[in-house]
Structure 1
Amino acid sequence: MNNTLGSFRILLISVAVFTCLSAILASLRFGARAPSILQYLKPSRIGSQFGQAQRPLLNSSMAPEMYRKPPQLPPKFTATPGSLIEDTKSLIDRSRSVQDGIVKDITPEKATFKNVMLPVAYDDNKMAIESHIIGFYQAVSTNKELRDASTEAEKLLDDFGIESSMREDVFKLVDAVLRKKEPLDPESQRMLEKDHKSYIRNGLSVPAGPKRDRFKEIKKRLSEISILFQKNLNEEQGGIWFAPEELDGVPEDLVASLKKGEGENEDKVWLTFKYPDLFPTLRYANNAETRKKVFVENENKCNQNVPLFQEAILLRDEAARILGYNNHAEFRIEDKMAKTPKTVDDFLGDLRTRLAPGGKKEIEKLLELKRQDLKQRGLNDGTDKNYFLWDHRYYDRLMLEKDFSLDQQVIAEYFPLQTTIQGMLKIFEELFGLVFVEIVGEDRAALADGGKSSDIVWHEDVQIFSVWDDEGEGSGFVGYLYLDLFPRDGKYGHAANFNLQPGYIDENGKRRYPCTALVCNFSKPTPKKPSLLKHDEVVTLFHELGHGIHDLVSRTTYSRFHGTNTVRDFVEAPSQMLENWCWTPSQLRSLSHHYSYLSPEYEAAYNESSGTEKKPSERIPNSLIANIINTKHVNDALFNLRQLHFGMFDMTVHEPASHEAIEKLDISTTYNKLRHDISQLDGPEVLGGDWTWGNGQATFGHLIGGYDAGYYGYLSSQVYSTDMFYSVFKDDPMNGKEGRRYRHTVLERGGSKEEMDILKEFLGRKPSTEAFYKELGISQ
C-alpha cells in the first residue's frame, strides 16, 4: 500500500512517516482478504484459558526480572498542534546547521567519510527519531487540529528534504569522498554510494538554471499532492442509507451496529465504506442492486483525488524526462531489483498469459453458480449472462460454502482477535527466539518517566509490548511493538505497519532500539461476541505482524537501512513468506480458540445464537482446517488477475510513449478498461454506461504514496517468498534453527545489503520462479 500516508523523505533525511506495508494487497481480493482487528479481552484476562499446550504471553506484572526494565524508554505522544510545528522547525534548523557547518569547514580536498558523511548520518538518525512520530499523528489522532498540524509539519519536512537533496555544495563534498575510495565497511560504502546517486537522481545532474528550478518545483508539488491525496482518504466519511430489507443476508450483528437514521432517513441505517462495513456487505448482501450500489459508490468515494492523481502522473513524467529518462517507470525501477521496465513488463505479461485461461474457467463456474442462485430465488433480472465486479465476493463466498463446506462465519468463531494475536506472537517467539511482554498497569506509568501512563500511547485502545531476545538469543532488549486495531474517525483506513522510531548505532557506539506500530481497522466487538477473524483476516494480520517483526529485529548501523527500508520489489517478501504459516494445519490449530470459552457471558450468548447447549470444540476441528486448506487456490487465478490489473495499470500510466501521450490519456477509462480486459469481470459499462463510471485510481493510495511504478512488487516478491518457504520451511515450518537463521540472514540486514545478495545467501543459490508457478498451479 501500498497506500502510504506520507511522502518519503528524499536522500539524507529519512522522514518516511511510516512504512505502509499493508496487505491492502490482501484486502483487494474479491472474495477474501479484508483487514481485521482487536477485541475487548485483555491478555491477562484470557491468558489462563488460552490453551492447554501453550503458556500465555507474559505481561509486565508477571515477567521475569530480566524482562521488566527496558533499557530505553518508549516515546511519548503528548504533542499539541503548536508543539508539532515548533518541533518540526527546530529539527529543520538543526539539520540545516549540520549541513551548513560541513560546507563551511570542509573543502573537497579535505573531505572524508568521517567528516562529511557521518555527521549527516548521525543527524539523519536523530531526525528520524522525532520526525516519524510527528508525521504519525495524521494517521491515528482523534484530534483534527493535531492531524492537520501533522500534515503541515510533514510538508515542512518534505520541502526541507527537497532543499537538502538539491544542495550542490554538499554534493561536491560527497562526490569528493566517493572519488577518494576510502576503505569502508560494507554498510558505510552502501550508504555513500546510495547518497551520491540520490543527489544525481534528485536533479543535480541537470545544469543549474530553468530546468533544475522546474524540477525542484515539481518535487515540491508532488509532495503536496501526496499529502493531500492521503489526507482525503483518511478524512473520508462517506456512506449510503439503506433500508434494513436492502441488507438482507448481511450478518445481523453488523446491521444492528450501524447508525440509525432520523427524519427523512428514519427506519434506515448508515453503511460506511470502511472495511468492517464494506466487505461483509459485498460478501453477504443477497440484493444485487445493493451490492452494485455499494461497489460503485465506493469507487467514487474520493473523487476530489481524481485531478490530483492525473496531475501527479503528468508531473512525474515531466520530471523523469528532465533527468534524461524515457519515462517515470524507467527512473523508478532503475534502483529496484528488476532494474528495467522491460523486466517488469515481461514478468507481468507472462503471468497474465499463464493466468488468463484459469480466470476464464473460474468465471464460467461462478457464472453457472450465479444462474442456479437466481433460478432458485425466482429472479429473472437479465443479468444471468454477466459476471459483475459486485458479484464476485458474493459468489466466491457462496462457492466456498456450497462446494467446500467452508462457512467463514463458523470458522471465525475459532479466531477471536486477542487470542489469535497471542498465538501469532507465540509463533514468532518460538521461530525467531523472541519474548513479548505486554506493558500494563503501573508499569506503563513507570515507563512514562514522570508522566501519565496514557502518555506512552496515542489512544486508549492501543496495546504496547516490550520485545526481548529469549535466553538462547541473549535476553537482550529488541524494541517496542504497538497494536492499534480498531477503526476511528480520521484514522488511516487500511492495514499497515508504521515505523515510529528506527534502530541504529549512535555516535557513541550505543544501540538505539526501534519502535513499530500495527495500525489496522478490524471490526469492534459487541456485547455478545468478541471481534472474530475470518481466515483471510488471520492471514492479513499475520502478514502485518511479519512487517512489524522485520522492523523490530533489524540491526543496522544507519537508520536509513533499518528494517523494511528495502527496495519495494522485495519489501513484501518476508511477510508474504510468513503467510504460509496460516495455511499449515498445526499452526492453524494452535492459533484457534473458540470464543465461547473466553467468558461465561460469551458462552451464554453463543448458546443462545446457536440454539444448542452443546459445547463446540475448544480448538478448530480438523475437518474445518482441511476445508480451509482445500480452498487455498479456489478462484486464485481471478485474485492474481486482479493484482495484475493494479500492476499493469501502474506501469501503463508511468510508461507512456511520450509526454503528449500521457497528457491525452483518459485515466479513469484506462483504469476501468484494463480491469475489464485483465480481470475479465464486467462493470457498469456493459449495462449501457460508459468507461468513466468509476474512479478507482482516486482511492489507490499505493500509487501516490510510494508504490508508483512499483506495485508489481507485490507479485514479484511472491516469487522470492514462495522460493524461501518451499526451500527452507515447507517440511518443518516451526524449525527454530532455520527460523533464527532467517532472522539473522534476512530480517536483521534490513536494506543494508543488496537484496539479491541476501536472498542468495539464505537460499544458497539464485532465487527461482519454479516454486511460485508451482504454487499457483501454472508451472510449465
Structure 2
Amino acid sequence: MASTKFKKPPQAPPLFTHTPESLIKDTERFIDASKALQDRLVKEVSPEKAEFKNVMLPFAQDDNRMSLESHIIGFYQAVSVDHKLRDASTEAEKKMDDFAIEASMRQDLFDLVDAVFKKQKDDPKLDAESRRLLEKDHKGYVKMGLGIPAGPQRDRFKAIKKRLSELGITFQKNLNEEQGGLWFTPEELDGVPEDVTSNLKKGDKGTETEGKLWLTFKYPDLFPTQKYCKNAETRHKVFISNENKCNQNVALFKEAIVLRDEAARLLGYPNHATFRIEDKMAKTPKTVDDFLGDLRERLAPGGVQEIEKLKELKKTETGSADKYFLWDHRFYDTLMLERDFQLDQNRIAEYFPLQTSIEGMLNIFEELFGLVFVKLESEERNAISESGKGDDIVWHPEVQVFSVWDDEGEGNGFVGYLYLDLFPRDGKYGHAANFNLQPGFINENGTRRYPATALVCNFSKPTPKKPSLLKHDEVVTLFHELGHGIHDLVSRTIYSRFHGTSTVRDFVEAPSQMLENWCWTPSQIKSLSKHWSHLSPESKQAWEASAKSGEKQPAADMPDDLIKSIVNTRHVNDALFNLRQLHFGIFDMTVHEPSSHEAVEKLDASVTYNALRHEISKLDGPEALGEGDGWGHGQATFGHLIGGYDAGYYGYLSSQVYSADMFHTVFKKDPMDGKEGRRYRHTVLERGGSQDEMQTLEDFLGRKPSTESFYKELGVS
C-alpha cells in the first residue's frame, strides 16, 4: 500500500446513522421537495418557453441531490443487521419507485420535455452529455407509456409498473432473508474442508439434531460442499434443496414475466425483449439470439467431450458412470483439477489471506490507474466524520473504509470513498456485488461532487487462529467486483445518472471482466499472494500448532509450480462453464420473447428452466431419474432476472467479447503498462454512460470491436 500520510478529504463521507423512522421521514422529505419542483416548473414554464436550462437542468440537478440520499436509503436492506431497518429500507425503496413511476408518467412534465427535445435535440450549443441526457429522458417518458393515449390503457400500464416494482423488491428481500439449510452428520460431510465444518452450527444436546451440523445455502457453506463432499447423496440433497429454496418467489417470477410482456405490448412492442434491447448495444433480440445460438453451436461439441472425460473420472471413483449429474459437476471438476493439473485449492488458499489479496489488488490499481488508497482507522474516521464519531461512517463494525486519491502524476486530487463489507451476516445480501452509495457529478456551483462505493461480499470469516483464506475463484470474484468499484470511483460525468457503472447492461460487465485477466497472470498472482503463516508471529505460531510433525514452514511467496497449476487450469471445462452461462442467457430470452401473450401466461417457468438446462448444459438432473422437468425452480433464486438483467443476462457473455478484445489488443503484452492503464481509465472508465458505449469502445481500441479474441480464448475460433 502507498505510504501516503492521511490527508483530510475535501468532502466528508456519508453517515449511516438512520433509524427505521428517519429512513421513511427522509424519503418522504426529498420526494415532497422533488414533487414541489416538478409542480413549480409546470406552473412557471410553458412548452413554448421550455428550454434545456429551465427544464432539463433543474430536473437533472434534483436527480443529483436525491441520489446522495436515495442510494443509501435503499442500501440498508442489503446490509443492515436490524430487520426493522431492512424493512424500512424496503418500504422506502417502494415509496421512491412509486414516486419515480408517477413522475415519469406525468403528461404535463412530458409536454415540457417533449418541447425541449423537439427544439434542442441537435443543438450544437449543448454539450454532448447534455444532448444524451435529453434524448434518454425523452425516450424514458415514451417508454413509461406516454405514447399511449390517456385512459384505461395508460392507467393499466401505470398499475403494471407499480406492481413490477413491488415484485422486484419482495423477490430480492426473500433472497436476502432466506434462512434455509439442512442437518448432516459429520460423516455425511466427509471431505468438506475443516475450516468450513468448524464454523457450522451444532445441534443441541438431547434433541434429534444432536451430533449433527447445520449447513446453510449461503455461498461459504454451499460451494465447498458441492466441490469437496465425497458423499454423492449429500451433494444431491444440497443441490436439490438449494434449487428449491425461496419457493415464494416462484409465483412472483411468473407474475413478473407475464406483466412485463403485457406492458411491452401496450407500448406497441412484440415482447419485453424487444422493448428492453433496443437501447442496448445489441439493439435487437435477433442479434442476441444469433450470438447465443452461434456460441451454443460452437461450444456444444466441447461440452460433450468434457463430460466424457469427467465421466471417466467418475467411473474410476465409483465404478459406474452412465449418468453425469448436476450435483456431480463441481465435485469432479475440482477433482480433475487436483488430479490432472495438480491444482490443490486448499493449498492455494493458504497463499491468499483475504487482507493480503486486497492490499495486492489495491497496489495493482494504484500502479495501473494512478490512484492512492488510504485505509482509514478509527482516529482518521473520527477526524473526517461530520458527527465526530468514526463509527457513524460505517453500517457495521467489520466494514473497512478507504479514502481514494489521485497520485502525483494524476494531480494529487481526491477521488472518493471505497468501502469493503466482506463477511456473511444474517439478512445480508448473499452474493458479491458493488453498490454505488453516492454518485459523482458536477455541483450547481461548478465544483465536483465525489463518489462513495461499496463492495459487499460473503467470504468465510477469519477464526482466532487463522485469517480468512480465499480460493482462487474467490480472488477472481473479489477482483471483478473491485473493478466495478474502481469504475464507480474514477468516473467523471456531469450528471449522476451517467456516473460510473450506469452504462447499458450489455457493456457494464466488460471493464470488470477485462480486469479478471490480471488474476491469471503469473507475476500478478505472485503479487496478490503470501503464505498466511508469514503474516505475523501469531500466524506463524498458529500454523505450527496445526502443522504435521516435522513439516517445514512454506516459503512466503507462492511457488512457481502452484502458480503454473492455476494458469494451466484457466480454460479446463470452459465449454461447460460457458454452456451454463448460455443456459441462463437463453432462459432469460425464452421467457421474455414469447410468441404471444397467451404463450407466456401458459409457460411453466420451472419446467422451461430445467428442460433448457438439460438441453444446453448436457448435464443430467432428476429428469434423468424419471422425475420429469418440474423438480426444482432455480429461476426463483435468480435475482439477476428480477433485478435489472431481464432480457439482458446475455450481457455477461457479450461483455466477455469486448473485454477479451480490449485485453488482448492493449494489455496482453504488458498488463502493468501504466501508460495504457491511465489511457483506459480516461477513455473508458471516466466516461461512465455519458456517451454511446460503442463509441467508448472504438475510442479505446481504435477500431470496431471483434469477436476473434473471445472465440480464440475459448478455443472455438
Question: Could you say which TM-score interval applies, normalised by the shorter chain?
Answer: over 0.9
Superposition pairs of residues 77-116 of structure 1, within 5 angstroms:
77-116=16-55
Aligned-partner SS, 1:500: strand
1:347 matches 2:254? no
Give the match for residue 451 of structure 2. Answer: 514
**1:339 shift after superposition:** 0.2
The match for 1:584 among 504, 513, 521 is 521
Contact 1:337 1:570 in 2 (8 A): yes
Per mean C-alpha deviation after superposition, the further-off stretch among 157-166 and 174-183 is: 174-183
Contact 1:498 1:519 in 2 (8 A): yes
1:186 matches 2:147? no
**1:600 shift after superposition:** 2.4
Q: Which amino acid aligns with 1:717?
A: S
Partners of 2:541 and 2:620 in 1: CA distance: 45
Aligned-partner SS, 1:367: helix
The normalised TM-score by structure 2 is: 0.98
Partners of 2:2 and 2:372 in 1: CA distance: 8
**1:601 shift after superposition:** 2.7
Q: Which amino acid aligns with 1:606?
A: W
The normalised TM-score by structure 1 is: 0.91
**1:425 shift after superposition:** 0.2
1:594 matches 2:538? no
**1:610 shift after superposition:** 3.2
Give the match for residue 366 of structure 1. Answer: 310
1:298 matches 2:237? no
Give the match for residue 661 of structure 1. Answer: 599
Aligned-partner SS, 1:490: coil
Aligned-partner SS, 2:262: helix
The match for 1:504 among 441, 445, 470 is 441
Superposition pairs of residues 515-530 of structure 1, within 5 angstroms:
515-530=452-467
Give the match for residue 690 of structure 2. Answer: 752
Deviations 1:231-252 (A, max 9, x none): 0000000000001110011112
The match for 1:564 among 496, 501, 504 is 501
The match for 1:203 among 145, 150, 154 is 145
Superposition pairs of residues 617-766 of structure 1, within 5 angstroms:
617-766=555-704
**1:605 shift after superposition:** 2.7
1:463 matches 2:407? no
Deviations 1:719-761 (A, max 9, x none): 0000000000000000000000000000000000000000000
The match for 1:221 among 159, 163, 176 is 163
Which 4+ residue blocks in structure 1 deviate beyond 4 angstroms? Answer: none
Give the match for residue 148 of structure 1. Answer: 87
Deviations 1:212-268 (A, max 9, x none): 000000000000000000000000000000011100111122112110102111111
Aligned-partner SS, 1:264: coil
Deviations 1:175-195 (A, max 9, x none): 111111232000000000110
Deviations 1:139-184 (A, max 9, x none): 0000000000000000000000000110111111111111112320
5+ residue gaps, structure 2? none
Aligned-partner SS, 2:467: coil
The match for 1:323 among 267, 278, 282 is 267
**1:505 shift after superposition:** 0.2
Deviations 1:49-97 (A, max 9, x none): xxxxxxx344xxxx33xx5110000000000000000000001000001
Give the match for residue 15 of structure 2. Answer: 76
**1:511 shift after superposition:** 0.4
Partners of 1:128 and 1:116 in 2: CA distance: 19
The match for 2:180 among 238, 248, 265 is 238
Q: Which amino acid aligns with 1:85?
A: I
Contact 1:57 1:422 in 2 (8 A): no
Give the match for residue 281 of structure 1. Answer: 225
Partners of 2:189 and 2:472 in 1: CA distance: 23
Could you say what the CA RMSD is over the residues aligned between the two structures, in angstroms?
Answer: 0.8
1:253 matches 2:192? no
Aligned-partner SS, 2:208: helix
Partners of 2:388 and 2:622 in 1: CA distance: 56
Partners of 1:190 and 1:83 in 2: CA distance: 36
Deviations 1:457-484 (A, max 9, x none): 0000000000000000000000000000
Partners of 1:411 and 1:772 in 2: CA distance: 27
Aligned-partner SS, 2:198: helix
Partners of 2:605 and 2:536 in 1: CA distance: 53
The match for 1:552 among 489, 495, 502 is 489
Q: Which has the higher contact order (CA 8 A, sep 6+)?
A: 1
Q: Which amino acid aligns with 2:635?
A: Q
Partners of 1:605 and 1:359 in 2: CA distance: 43
- Number of matched residues? 711
Deviations 1:518-563 (A, max 9, x none): 0000000122221111111111100000000000000000000000
Partners of 1:587 and 1:384 in 2: CA distance: 39
Partners of 1:414 and 1:558 in 2: CA distance: 42
Partners of 2:104 and 2:53 in 1: CA distance: 20
Give the match for residue 15 of structure 1. Answer: none
1:391 matches 2:335? no
Give the match for residue 48 of structure 1. Answer: none
Give the match for residue 215 of structure 2. Answer: 271
Give the match for residue 769 of structure 1. Answer: 707
Give the match for residue 575 of structure 1. Answer: 512
**1:630 shift after superposition:** 0.6
**1:609 shift after superposition:** 3.0
Give the match for residue 121 of structure 1. Answer: 60
**1:613 shift after superposition:** 4.1
Partners of 2:74 and 2:84 in 1: CA distance: 13
Aligned-partner SS, 2:416: strand
Partners of 1:241 and 1:429 in 2: CA distance: 46
Q: Which amino acid aligns with 1:644?
A: L
Partners of 1:751 and 1:449 in 2: CA distance: 31
Partners of 2:283 and 2:378 in 1: CA distance: 51
**Identity across aligned pairs (percent)?**
75
Aligned-partner SS, 1:265: coil
